[in-house]
Amino acid sequence: MKPEINAIPSEEDTGKHSPIRNRKQKSFTELQQLERLADRGSKWFELKKQAEVRYKNQLLPIYSLQNIKFQKNAPLLFLVGGIHGVERIGSQSLLAFLSHLIERLHWDDYLNQLISKTQIVAIPVANPSGMALGKRSNANGVDLMRNSPIESFETKNLFVSGQSISSLLPWYRGSNQLEVETATIDKVLGQAARETNFILSLDLHSGFGFRDRIWFPYAYRSRLMKRISPIVSLKLLWERSYPDNAYIIEPQSNHYLTHGDLWDYFYKKYGHKSGRTFIPLTLEMGSWIWLKKRPIQALRFDGYFNPNTKHRKSRVLRRHISLMNFLLHASINYQNWLPTPEQEDNLSQFAHTLWKKT
C-alpha cells in the first residue's frame, strides 16, 4: 500500500457536517478532536451518531467510532472514555490511542492486515453534557457509573456507593432507568457483541489514588467472579510482555463496593453465563500524584482528575498507548492465551491467593 502524504487536516478543513462545528468553546474540544480523527481515518473507521443529549439549549452527539471491515465472528475490542464528564484525561487518552492507530494505518501494511481480524468499537466521549459542564455526572445530575440496576447488599457506604435521594448530591443513581448515555453504551455494546465469542473492554477513568490501577468486576460484591481464570491469564500475559509496567491489576471490590456499576451490569448481560468470554477492565489513573506534584490544582474541581500542565498531560497521553496496543493484540490472539478447561481450576485458585479472597 502506498503511504498517503496528505497533510493532517486543520480544524478549519474538517468536520463539515458537524453539529458542533465552529464552536470555539473549550467544552467541546474532545468532540471536535474525535470528528477530525474520524475524517482522517475515514478509510478504516466510521463515525456514527448513536444518540443526542441536551446541554443548555443545544443537542450534543454521542458518537461511536467503529472499524468498517472485519472478519465474521471477529473478537471485539470495546473502548469507552469520559463516562465521568470531569475526567477529560480518560477521553483524551483514548483519543490519543485512536489517533496513533489511524496514523499508523496510513503507512503500516502489517497493521492494515491485523485490523481486519478484530472489531474495534470506541465511544471516546460517553458523557458530552457532563464534560461540557465540567461535572462527574451527566446534565441530569446522574452518576452514570451508578446508574445500572445492580444492587450491592454488602456496601455500607451510604453515599459513595450510590444514592437515590437527590440529583443535587453526588453519586446519584437516577430514577430506576438507564440514562440516554448508559442506554447508548448498552445498545452499541449489545449490537457489536452479537456475533462474537470474545469481548475485551477498557473504560478509562481518573481520580483514585497515586498509582494507575486496572480494575475488573465485581463492584457490587467482594467475592470474585466465578470464571476468573481468563483475567488471570491476561494479567500474566501482560506482566510477561511488559515486566516493567506500573499498573496494579485487581478487583474493584478490593477498594470499595457500589450499587449500579455499569460493568457489573454489562458483564452479567453479555458475559457471565452467555458462553462468551467477556473481560471488562476499567483503568483508574492515579490522579492524586498530579495533585501532589502541583498542589495548586486543588483549587479547581477538575484539578483532582486531570493533569493541568502540558508536559504532565503529554506524559499521561503517551503512557497508556502501550496498554491499549497490548489489548488490541490480546483480543486478536485470544485463542492463543485463553486458559484451557484443564488450566481453569489452577488459575482460579491462584486468583484467590493473589487477591486474598476466600
- Given the rule CB under 5 A, which residues bind Zn ion? 84, 87, 205
Amino acid in the structure at residue 232: V
Place of cell 444492587: 151
Nearer to Zn ion, 84 or 88 (CB): 84
- CB of residue 87 to Zn ion, shortest distance in Å: 5
Query: What is the Cα–Cα distance from 88 to 307, expressed in whole angstroms?
Result: 10
Query: What is the Cα–Cα distance from 96 to 30, expressed in whole angstroms?
Result: 11
Nearer to Zn ion, 40 or 84 (CB): 84
Q: What is the dihedral of CA 69, 274, 126, 9, to 10 degrees?
A: -10
Query: What is the Cα–Cα distance from 214 to 211, expressed in whole angstroms?
Result: 10
- Cβ-based neighbour number of residue 326 at 10 Å: 16
Ramachandran area for residue 99 (φ above 0: left; ψ -120 to 50: alpha; else beta): alpha
- CB of residue 306 to Zn ion, shortest distance in Å: 12
- CB of residue 205 to Zn ion, shortest distance in Å: 3
Query: What is the Cα–Cα distance from 62 to 260, expressed in whole angstroms?
Result: 21
E strands in 4-127: 45-55, 58-67, 76-81, 119-123
Q: What is the dihedral of CA 129, 134, 136, 140, to 10 degrees?
A: -40
Nearer to Zn ion, 207 or 230 (CB): 207
Whose CA is closest to 186, among 328, 327, 50? 50
CB closest to Zn ion, residue no: 205
- CB of residue 90 to Zn ion, shortest distance in Å: 7
Nearer to Zn ion, 216 or 334 (CB): 216
- CB of residue 284 to Zn ion, shortest distance in Å: 7
- CB of residue 323 to Zn ion, shortest distance in Å: 17
Nearer to Zn ion, 205 or 235 (CB): 205
- In b/e form, how buried is each residue of 190-208, taking b as 16+ CB within 10 angstroms? eebbeebbbbbbbbbbbbb
